[in-house]
């Protein structure tokens, strides 16, 4: 009986390993774009390093005055690709929104997914590593 249960367990593990390898191969086949993750409002206004953080919640600067906690997030996220000088809308319905928080207002964010017209249907997200700590040596 023990031998049968070990055989079933090993067969299950082999099948699950094959399934995960196929899923990884499918993700590798998807195209990716790398750029600056921001909101449509910030990119249209040319605000990159000084984009207001409330725009990631309600879509524009100063919107916190009319937005209440519990209201739906209405920000339209985009990925600005520097090489192309173009902003792609992001469809993040397949990703939890909180995963993208790590890449907000950062450069070299990689979005992996299907590209249709000017929209990227995101399947996976990779944020760049955080900046290295530096030591300021000098007079303040």
What confidence tens digit (pLDDT) does each residue in 3-60 have?
766 666 666 656 665 555 544 444 467 899 999 999 999 999 998 878 888 888 888 8
Joined tokens for residue 64: 């916190």
In the chain, where the domains are located: 29-126
CB count within 10 Å of CB 57 equals: 17
Structure tokens at 136: 């300021």
Query: pLDDT by residue (tens digit) across 86-134?
Result: 999 999 999 988 888 888 888 999 999 999 989 999 999 999 887 777 7
The number of beta carbons lying within 10 Å of the beta carbon of residue 113 is: 23
pTM over 0.85: no
């Amino acid at each position: 009986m023990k031998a049968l249960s070990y055989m079933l367990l090993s067969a299950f593990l082999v099948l699950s390993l094959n399934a995960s390898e196929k899923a990884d191969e499918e993700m590798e086949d998807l195209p990716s774009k790398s750029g600056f993750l921001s909101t449509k409002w910030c990119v249209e206004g040319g605000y990159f390093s000084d984009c207001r953080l409330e725009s990631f919640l309600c879509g524009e600067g100063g919107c916190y005055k009319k937005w209440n906690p519990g209201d739906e997030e209405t920000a339209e996220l985009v990925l600005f690709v520097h090489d192309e000088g173009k902003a792609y809308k992001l469809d993040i319905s397949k990703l939890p929104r909180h995963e993208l928080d790590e890449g907000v207002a950062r450069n070299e964010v990689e979005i992996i997914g299907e590209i249709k017209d000017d929209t990227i249907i995101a399947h996976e997200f990779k944020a760049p590593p955080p900046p290295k700590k530096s030591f300021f040596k000098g007079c303040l």
